[in-house]
Structure 1
Amino acid sequence: MGERGFQEIANMQWRIETDTAIGHGDGEHAPDTPSSYTSTTSISSSILDYRQLHGRTYQNSKTGEYWAPNDQKQNEGLDLIHNALLMLLDNRLSFIPIDGCIGPERVLDVGTGTGIWAMDFGDQYPTSKVIGTDLSPIQPSWVPPNVEFILDDCTLNWVWPENHFDFIHLRSLYGSIPDWRALYNKVFSHLKPGGWIQSIEMEIRIKSDHVDFPADHIFNRWADMTYEAGEKMGRTFTICQGQNIRNHLQEIGFVDIVEQKTKAPLHGWPSDPKLREAGQLFQIAFDESLNGFGMYLFTQVLGWTREEVDVLISEMREESRKKANCHWFEV
């Protein structure tokens, strides 16, 4: 089998400069245009029979229950994170070699979520055929003519032949994959020789270069509880730690591996205007999504009561809003 390349967007190590105005007391996607977009096909109403939990909706899966909500509140947070990531990554949707405006012919976006990355990529490269897959049909009904969304569980057998795609994109699949090596094996098999994978994952633990958070700080307790829930589900949240992804890809046979690790600021504390704006977006998305990040994991997996989790979420929200923490997470 021919060689495949790999791009993992994670972190160029640097120290983010803080805004000098910070004191220690400081505590969507553009509307679719029907004339140039096409409507996706209708789906069975049984697919929309979501599980209800504490006022949120969740998608059922053949391979297990998915931990994150699929409702409008969570989806708005996902789109904010997408836009913040673009700011963080120099407005680049991909880091693979692309010659001019001619994109890769066949593109697969695994776990597409709201579909915003797939639609943006399809807009930017109109000659590419982009397929986005997800467990939930939460994507818009109007999409670029070269973009298609399919309901699919990436942990099951894939419907496409081997050596089919030129570029496969994965992002934010932490906590949803029982066997990352098996998933990357599927990617390798379904890429054409010379094709590319880009895998972007985020770290749960929040850190700071300016504040030392003790072990019992809410940032560390939240991360440890999330890791514990992931281990109990058999779906780790620690895939981006160390060189986990790189090691999997090397063992499978990917070559030309480029790994970058980036500090994503939370809040508007950086002195750099672009990082400050990205941090503000990340903070809004974080604030919007905290309930969705924690409620299922902590009640259904760890056995906490809703009232206990509500208190934990309030504590996390209060601490994350403190600009003087100068906090960040790794991408």
Structure 2
Amino acid sequence: MAEERPLEVDNEPPADADSWDSQSELTSLRSSILEHRYENGRRYHAYRPGAYWGPNDEQAQNHLDIGHHLHNLLTGGKLYLAPIADNVRKVLDIGTGTGIWAIDFADIHPSATVIGTDLSPIQPSWVPPNVQFVIEDCTEEWLYEKESLDYIHIRGMYGSVGDWDALYKKAYKHLKPGGYIEHWEQSVQAKSEDGTTSGTVYEEWAELAWRAGDAFGKTLRIVDESKHRISKAGFTDVVEKRFKCPIGPWAADPTLKKMGSFNRLQQEEGLEGYAMYLFTTYLGWTREDVGVLLGRMRTVLRDPKIHAYQEYSAVWARKPLVEEQGEGKGEASAA
């Protein structure tokens, strides 16, 4: 245990004491948030360094935007599946990334105030007047008033949260009674109905990703856990909808074929970002080791004989009305 010492006061004024005012301090703090760090040829956020595994450079942003388009294909163009009111007022988008979902939501809900939070300052500066982007760590205490939010949207946060139960409890506390939470995730495991992924590097990739996430202390398995954990947090009318999304244009159905093409593109853009930080930091791999694995993965991604798909999950649930609270929880499911 570290020796406890009294907090000492620095009685020497800084060299630029005349300019050391609240404005200069604000500028300094803001500058530190906008900084980035570089590792293994990729750019990462400097605010809360190491809290998130993914890079935030242009390639990573392209990957996120492709993923947004893929979600639109999965849902037939719907930004959300929860039955929220048309006149929703205050919306929180956790892990907003490039902010594209928040902007699209704000466009179709002009009466709503949409707050997008993230560790990386990669959102555009020109946005609809009802959108606000905040650099914030969602695992820390939230500054919003209790029961002030109508809808909370979470997407693609696997490997980003150490305690999902605590996060869902915060969401419950800050939602208004009757408000909704919706959480989308994707699996890191590629499957196939005809067994063509068996014995391939797809299986190795999933095992490595799970192991790296566990070592990181932030699970990559939340796709299979969110329904149970959201229900445990006190939400009611819990619904889960799962999607099979092909990897590559191998499916006969035209819509699935298009989805597969975009999913493969998303994978190719994101492979290095998925693996580089976690594998080098938590599995002890070298950058060269990761490069070899990425090469093997790119080969199977382009193999038309392998009919791989990923599972996506969407879970939405409602905070009970005041008169319902304490009456128990209910779950439902959708195919």
TM-score, length-scaled by structure 2: 0.82
Tell me, which stretches of 5 or more residues in structure 2 are unaligned?
1-26, 313-335
Distance of aligned partners of 1:251 and 1:65 in 2 relative to their CA distance in 1, 3 Å threshold: closer
Task: Give the distance between the partners of 1:250 and 1:44, measured in 2 at CA.
Answer: 38
SS in structure 2 opposite 1:136? coil
8 A Cα contact 1:59 1:65, kept in partner: no
Pairing of 1:317-328 with structure 2 (within 5 A): 317-328=298-309
Residues 269-319 of structure 1, C-alpha deviations (whole Å, 9 max, x = no match): 122222211211111111111111111111111111111110000000110
8 A Cα contact 1:111 1:170, kept in partner: yes
The counterpart of 2:220, out of the listed 231, 237, 241, is 237
Structure 2 residue identity aligned to 1:237? L
Task: Give the distance between the partners of 1:279 and 1:68, measured in 2 at CA.
Answer: 23
Structure 1 residue identity aligned to 2:149? F
Q: Does 2:224 correspond to 1:252?
A: no
1:125 Cα deviation after fit: 1.2
SS in structure 2 opposite 1:209? coil
Residues 41-96 of structure 1, C-alpha deviations (whole Å, 9 max, x = no match): x9822223212111101113438432100101011011001101110111110112
Task: Give the distance between the partners of 1:206 and 1:329, measured in 2 at CA.
Answer: 5
1:255 Cα deviation after fit: 0.4
1:174 Cα deviation after fit: 0.4
RMSD: 1.5
Task: Give the distance between the partners of 1:279 and 1:89, measured in 2 at CA.
Answer: 14
8 A Cα contact 1:181 1:248, kept in partner: yes
8 A Cα contact 2:209 2:220, kept in partner: yes
Q: Does 2:213 correspond to 1:223?
A: no
Distance of aligned partners of 1:120 and 1:306 in 2 relative to their CA distance in 1, 3 Å threshold: same
Task: Give the distance between the partners of 1:246 and 1:98, measured in 2 at CA.
Answer: 18
Q: Does 2:265 correspond to 1:284?
A: yes
Aligned match of 1:157? 141
Task: Give the distance between the partners of 2:51 and 2:58, measured in 1 at CA.
Answer: 19
Aligned match of 1:305? 286
The counterpart of 1:58, out of the listed 13, 29, 44, is 44
Corresponding pairs, count:
285
Structure 1 residue identity aligned to 2:190? I
SS in structure 2 opposite 1:318? helix
1:264 Cα deviation after fit: 1.1
Residues 146-172 of structure 1, C-alpha deviations (whole Å, 9 max, x = no match): 111001000000010110100000001
Pairing of 1:1-331 with structure 2 (within 5 A): 44-62=30-48, 64-99=50-85, 102-214=86-198, 216-241=199-224, 244-331=225-312
SS in structure 1 opposite 2:236? strand
Task: Give the distance between the partners of 1:286 and 1:306, measured in 2 at CA.
Answer: 19
Task: Give the distance between the partners of 1:89 and 1:271, measured in 2 at CA.
Answer: 19
8 A Cα contact 1:68 1:293, kept in partner: yes
Indicate the structure (1 or 2) with the bigger Cα radius of gyration: 2
Tell me, which stretches of 5 or more residues in structure 1 are unaligned?
1-41
8 A Cα contact 2:89 2:113, kept in partner: yes
Distance of aligned partners of 1:53 and 1:304 in 2 relative to their CA distance in 1, 3 Å threshold: same
Task: Give the distance between the partners of 2:87 and 2:307, measured in 1 at CA.
Answer: 38
SS in structure 2 opposite 1:52? strand
TM-score, length-scaled by structure 1: 0.83
